[in-house]
Amino acid sequence: MAKDFDIQAYMTKGVEQVVSDVLRATLKNPRESAFMAKFALASRKASEKRAAAERQGEHIPPFLIASITSSCNLHCAGCYSRCSSATVDAAPVAQLTDEEWLKIFREADELGVSFILLAGGEPLLRRDIIEAAGKMPDILFPIFTNGTFMDDRYLELFDRHRNLVPVMSIEGSREATDSRRGDGVYDRLIANMDAIHKRGLIFGVSVTVTTENLREVTSESFLRTLKDRGCKAVILVEYVPVAEDSKELALSDSERDFLLKEVDRLRQTDTEMLYISFPGDEKDSDGCVAAGRGFFHINSHGGAEPCPFSPYSDVNVRDTSLREALRSRLFQALNDGGILKDDHRGGCVLHERREQVEALASGLK
The per-residue DSSP string of 78-121 comes to T-HHHHTTSS-SSPP-SPPPHHHHHHHHHHHHHHT--EEEEESS
Q: Is pLDDT at 283 greater than 60 in this prediction?
A: no
Is pLDDT above 50 for 268?
yes
Contacts of 32 (CB under 8 A, 6+ apart): 26, 162, 200, 201, 202
- CA gap 299, 313 in Å, rounded: 9
Decide: 40 and 138 in contact? Cβ < 8 Å. Answer: no
Can you give the pTM of this predicted structure?
0.93
Answer yes or no: is pLDDT of 244 > 70: no
d(CA 354, CA 45): 36
Strand order in the sheet with 164-169: 274-278, 231-238, 203-209, 164-169, 141-145, 115-119, 63-67, 295-298, 304-305
Domains and CATH numbers, the chain: 7-304 (3.20.20.70)
User: Residue 209's closest CA among 247, 240, 188, 242?
Assistant: 240
Share of the chain above pLDDT 90, in %: 63
Nearest residue to 65 via CA among 299, 320, 317, 321:
299
Q: In a 3-state reduction of DSSP, which class is residue 207?
A: strand
CA distance 329 to 285: 22
Whole-number pLDDT of residue 284: 67
* Alpha carbon distance 170, 178 (integer Å): 9
Asked whether 14 and 280 are in contact (CB, 8 A), the reply is no
pLDDT tens, position by position, 2-21 = 445 677 887 788 888 888 88
pLDDT for residue 285: 65
Tens digits of residue pLDDT in 322-349: 999 999 999 999 988 778 876 555 567 8
Bridge partners of 40?
Answer: none
Phi, psi of 72 (to 5 degrees): -155, 145
SS3 67: strand
Question: Is the bond preceding residue 279 a cis peptide, omega within 30 degrees?
Answer: yes
**pLDDT of res. 266:** 93
Residues 6+ apart with CB under 8 A from 355: none
Least confident stretch, 146-150, 193-197, 240-244, 332-336: 240-244
Spatial distance between the Cα atoms of 63 and 276, rounded to a whole number of angstroms: 14
Q: How far apart are CA 43 and CA 55, in angstroms?
A: 18
CA separation for the pair 302, 296 (Å, rounded): 12
List strand residue ranges (DSSP E) for 186-286, in order. Answer: 203-209, 231-238, 274-278
Are 361 and 339 in contact by the 8 Å Cβ rule? The answer is no
